[in-house]
Amino acid sequence: MEWFTSPQIWLALATLTSLEIVLGIDNIIFISILAGRLPQEQREKARLVGLGLAMFIRVALLFSLTWLMGLTAPLFTVIGNEISGRDLILISGGLFLLWKSTMEIHEKLEGEEGQSTIKAGATFGRVIVQILLLDIVFSLDSIITALGMAGQLAVMVAAVVIAVGFMMLFSGKISAFVERHPTIKILALSFLILIGVALIGDGLDMHIPKGYIYFAMAFSVMVEMLNLRMGRKSAPVKLHQPYIEDAGSR
C-alpha cells in the first residue's frame, strides 16, 4: 500500500526510470550495431537477448549491494591514484569501447567496396558475449548512479524493469533508423568513443560531468537531423519514365 500512497516513491520511480532510459540509449545503439552484423533473421533476437541480459545483470547487481560497494575499496595505487575493482572494470570497458568503435568505423569507411557487413566471425554467440561484456560496464555505471538517488531496492528494481521494457519496445525502430542512415551509424560510433573516454576518465578519477557529454551528443544529433532534413528537401525529383518518353516524342 505504501507504493500507492507515497508521492516520494512515485517521484523516485519516475526519476530513476528516466535515468535508466537515458543511460540505456548508448547501450541500445551498441547492441543495434553489433546485431547488425548478424543475418537479418537473427538481429531482433540478438537485440532482445542483449537487453534481457542487461536487465538481468542490473537486477543481480542490485541484489548484490554488499559486493558492489566492496568494488569501491582501493586495491593499489598508480601515480598517486587509488585504483579499485570498479575502476578496473570501467577502464577495461572504456578501452573495449574505443577498440570496438574504432574497428567498426574502419570497416565502415575503409572496408572493401561491396563487402558484406555480415562477417564470417560474427556468430550469434560471439555477438551475445560482446553485448554481455558491455552490459556489465553500462550496468555498473548506471547502478552506482542510481544508488545515490534512491535507497529502496524495490524502487530501483522496478525502474530497471520498466526502463528495459521501454527499450525493448523501441529498440527495433532505433536499429532500423541507424541502419538506414550510415552517417547516424558513424555518429553513434563516435558517441561510443566519447563514452569510452569518459569511462576511462572515471576509472582514473578524472571525472567528466555527464551533462557536458550528453549536451554534446544531443547537439550533434540535432545538427545531423537538420542535415538529413535538408538533404531530403534538396533531393532532385525523379520523373516517371513514361512521362519522359511522352515529352521526348513531342
Instruction: Reduce the DSSP state of residue 77 to 3 states and report it.
Output: strand
In this structure, are residues 199 and 141 in contact, taking their beta carbons and an 8 Å threshold? yes
Task: Return the pLDDT at 114.
Answer: 42
CA 34 vs CA 130, 158, 183, 228: distances in Å: 8, 27, 16, 24
Task: Return the pLDDT at 69.
Answer: 63
Instruction: Reduce the DSSP state of residue 154 to 3 states and report it.
Output: helix
In this structure, are residues 142 and 20 in contact, taking their beta carbons and an 8 Å threshold? yes
Task: Return the pLDDT at 243.
Answer: 45
End-to-end Cα spacing for the chain = 81
Q: What are the grid coordinates assigned to 117, written together?
A: 557487413
Backbone angles phi, psi at 115, to 5 degrees: -70, 140
Q: What are the grid coordinates assigned to 238, written together?
A: 525523379
This prediction has a pTM of 0.69
- pLDDT tens-place values along the chain, 250 residues long: 455 566 777 777 787 787 777 767 777 777 877 887 788 888 888 888 888 887 888 888 777 766 666 677 777 887 777 888 878 878 888 888 888 888 888 877 776 544 444 444 568 888 888 888 777 777 766 666 666 555 577 777 888 888 888 888 888 887 788 778 778 888 888 888 888 888 888 888 888 887 787 788 888 888 988 888 887 776 555 545 554 445 555 4
Task: Return the pLDDT at 48.
Answer: 87
Backbone angles phi, psi at 75, to 5 degrees: -100, -40
In this structure, are residues 189 and 100 in contact, taking their beta carbons and an 8 Å threshold? no
Instruction: Reduce the DSSP state of residue 81 to 3 states and report it.
Output: strand
Q: Which DSSP state fits 240?
A: P
Task: Return the pLDDT at 27.
Answer: 75
Instruction: Reduce the DSSP state of residue 117 to 3 states and report it.
Output: coil
Task: Return the pLDDT at 120.
Answer: 45
Q: With residue 7 as reference, give the H or E element that holds it.
A: helix 7-35
Task: Return the pLDDT at 135.
Answer: 76
∠ Cα 226 232 236 (to 5°): 145
Question: Amino acid identity, residue 152?
Answer: Q
